[in-house]
Amino acid sequence: MMNGVPPLDVEIDRLYQLPLDEFTDARNALAKAAGKNGAKVRGLRKPPVAAWAINQVYWRERDVYASLIDAVQAMRAAHTAVLSGKQGDIRGAGRTHEAAHEAALEAALRVLAEAGHAVTDAAKQAIATTLRALPADEPPGRLTRTLQPGGFEMLAGIPVRATSAAKKAALRVPARETITRPTEQRPTPAETAARARAVARAKETLAAATRAVRAAEQTARREQLEAAHAAREAERATRAVDAAREALESARQALTEAERERETAARRARQAVELLAVARQKAEAAQEVLDALT
């Protein structure tokens, strides 16, 4: 046991730090060496490329990963406080989370590029979406699937910030329309008309901003669905490749065993031929002795 961690867990951690194309062979080798825990190791799933990249951020840039998790927890705490009637800096927590999310995304994309993987839009979206869903149920550094965010994580997204900005823009009255007057003086018809025009413009701005927010939300949902679909397809393809590799490994083992049995049979056949030759020689010698006596 290393620092209180079972040796098998240490080996599994190392497994998830390997280059992605080495995972299956290394897992199968570890399963063979794991004895009674072999079935558990064989059941470890190869992560899709997006999950693998996030795992590497955990193993290689722990401070970036930890900052993201801390930001998620702070954001949840802020929302919980507000929902319970207490004070909470939702906006500040959201900004911190966005910065941490961006740093983690950049780190994961660097991992992909350095490992020679294609940094596609689908991969980028899958990584970004999964980062918003952290922390996951699986141990950090061992993520085996892409995730979809929900709950407080979604509150840190762009639509929330866009709504806040839209309200600010809608409620901001142009300076030239602002009319100062003594509090005891009634507004003039011109002032009343100016205020009405300002309110009408504010309502139009708010309506336009609301439509823009809804369109952005629909676009974000569509992109998330497309990214999730692409991630599922990639995961299915990964499982198919893993299954094919395992079948190939089984076929190689069967071929090796057949070759071994063939060599054993050939050796026994040669021995039988040699024994037959010796027996024939003995029979011929005995026949010669018999012929000499008769």
**Domain interval for residue 62:** 7-252
Beta bridge partners, 5, equal: 2
Average pLDDT over residues 275-281: 88
Q: Is 5 helix (H, G, I), strand (E, B) or coil?
A: strand
Q: Residue 164: is it exposed, middle or buried by C-beta count within 10 angstroms (0-12/13-18/19+)?
A: middle
Per residue in 173-206, pLDDT (tens digit) is 444 444 444 445 677 888 788 878 878 877 777 7
The answer to whether position 20 is within a domain reads: yes
Task: Please state, in angstroms and rounded to a whole number, the distance separating the CA atoms of residues 37 and 87.
Answer: 50
The answer to whether position 284 is within a domain reads: no
HEC string for 128-160: HHHHHHCCCCCCCCCCCCCCCCCHHHHHHCHHH
The answer to whether position 290 is within a domain reads: no
The answer to whether position 57 is within a domain reads: yes
| Local structure of residue 21 (DSSP, 8 states) | G
Distances (CA, A) of 99 to 68, 155, 189: 9, 15, 50
The answer to whether position 261 is within a domain reads: no
Structural tokens at position 209:
């901003």
Helical H runs in the chain? Answer: 7-15, 23-33, 38-42, 49-60, 62-83, 90-115, 121-133, 158-171, 189-293
Task: Please state, in angstroms and rounded to a whole number, the distance separating the CA atoms of residues 80 and 200.
Answer: 36
Task: List all residues 6 or more positions away from 191 whose beta carbon is below 8 Å from its beta carbon.
Answer: 179, 181
Residue 162's pLDDT is 37
Q: What is the pTM of this model?
A: 0.54
Q: Taking the CB of residue 250, how many other CB atoms lie within 10 A of it?
A: 11
Q: What is the mean pLDDT of the chain?
A: 81
* Cβ atoms of residues 75 and 97 within 8 Å: yes
The answer to whether position 292 is within a domain reads: no
* Cβ atoms of residues 108 and 132 within 8 Å: no
Tally of residues, the chain: 294
The answer to whether position 82 is within a domain reads: yes
How many domains would you assign to the chain?
A: 1
Per residue in 138-171, pLDDT (tens digit) is 899 999 999 988 654 444 443 343 344 434 433 3
Beta bridge partners, 2, equal: 5
Structural tokens at position 205:
């701005």
Per residue in 36-86, pLDDT (tens digit) is 999 999 999 999 999 999 999 999 999 999 999 999 999 899 888 887 888
The answer to whether position 240 is within a domain reads: yes
Amino acid at 291: D
